[in-house]
Amino acid sequence: MTDQDWLRQLRVEIIAAWAIAKKDMLIYYLKPNIIVSGMLFPLFMFLAFAVGRPGEPSVLIPGLIAITILFSASSIEPVSIPIERRMKTFDRLISAPVSLHAVVLGESMSGFLYSIGIASVPFLAGLIIFGTPILQIAPLVIGVLLTSFCFATMGTLFASYPTESPGDIMSMLNVVRLPLIFISGIFIPIDQIPGIAQYATYFSPLTYGNDLIHAAYSGTTSFSPAVDIMMLLVFILIFQFAANRLYKKFNE
C-alpha cells in the first residue's frame, strides 16, 4: 500500500468513526438511563461522601470532575451497543466496509464527547459559584481529555460482551467503576490508603487522571505530570487493543 493509499484509507476510517459518534450523539445522549448513570449517579455519590467532611472547593471540585468523567465517559457505549444488537443494526455496522478500529474509535468518541460536556458542569460550578482558582490550565485540559477518552474506551471494551441487555454490561462495569473511586486518591490521599490497596492505586487509570486534574487546582501531584500522561496513554492503548480483539472474537 502506497503512502497515498494509506492516507486515503485513514481518511475513510476517521470519517466512519465520526459518523458512528454522531449517530450515538443524536440518538442516545438524552436517554433517561444515560442521564441517570452519567450525571445524577456520580453527583449523588460524591455528595454522599463529601458532605460533612472538611475540605475546600479546590480539593472537592477536582474529585467531582474526576468521578463525573469516570461515569459519563463509560455510560454511552454500554447502552447504545446492546440496544443496537437487539435491533440488529450493530451487525450492519460491523459488516460495513470499515475496520473494527474505526468502529471502536467511533463508539469511544461518542462517550468522550459526552464526558467533556458533562465534566464542564462541575468545572463551571467551581469557577462561577465557588470562585475556585485554577493554578495551571494545562494539567486540567490534558487530564480531562485523556481521562475522558480512556474511560470512554473502557466503556466500549465492556460493551463488547455479546448481550442485548444494557443492564448486563452496566452491572459488570459497576463492579470495576465503584472500586476505582476508592483506590484512586479522590476521597483518601494515596499515601493514606491502607495496606495492599495502596499498591492497587497504580493499576487504576482514575488515579492518574485525578492526579492531573488535582494538579490544576493545587499545583501539586502524587506523581509527575509526565507519568500521569504516560500511564493514561498506556491504558488507552490497552483498552483499544483489547476492545478490537474482543469485538473481532464475538462477531466472527
Cell of 237: 492503548
In whole angstroms, how large is the CA radius of gyration of the chain? 18
pLDDT at 3: 62
Cell of 241: 487493543
pLDDT at 190: 83
- Cα–Cα distance between 109 and 18 in angstroms, integer? 8
Nearest to 69 by CA among 145, 126, 141, 142: 145
pLDDT, one tens digit for every residue, the chain (252 residues): 566 777 787 788 888 888 889 988 888 877 777 777 767 767 776 766 666 555 666 678 888 899 889 998 998 999 889 998 998 888 888 777 778 888 899 999 999 999 998 888 888 888 888 788 889 999 999 999 999 999 999 999 999 998 999 889 989 998 999 889 888 888 888 888 887 878 889 999 999 999 999 999 988 888 989 999 999 999 999 999 999 999 888 876
pLDDT at 16: 86
Say if residues 159 and 169 touch (Cβ distance below 8 Å).
yes
pLDDT at 110: 92
Say if residues 122 and 39 touch (Cβ distance below 8 Å).
no
pLDDT at 45: 67
Alpha helices in the chain (DSSP H): 3-28, 32-35, 41-50, 57-73, 77-86, 89-94, 100-124, 137-158, 166-182, 197-200, 205-218, 225-250
**Range 88-96, long-range pairs (CB < 8 A, 24+ positions):** 91/251, 93/20, 94/247, 94/251, 96/16
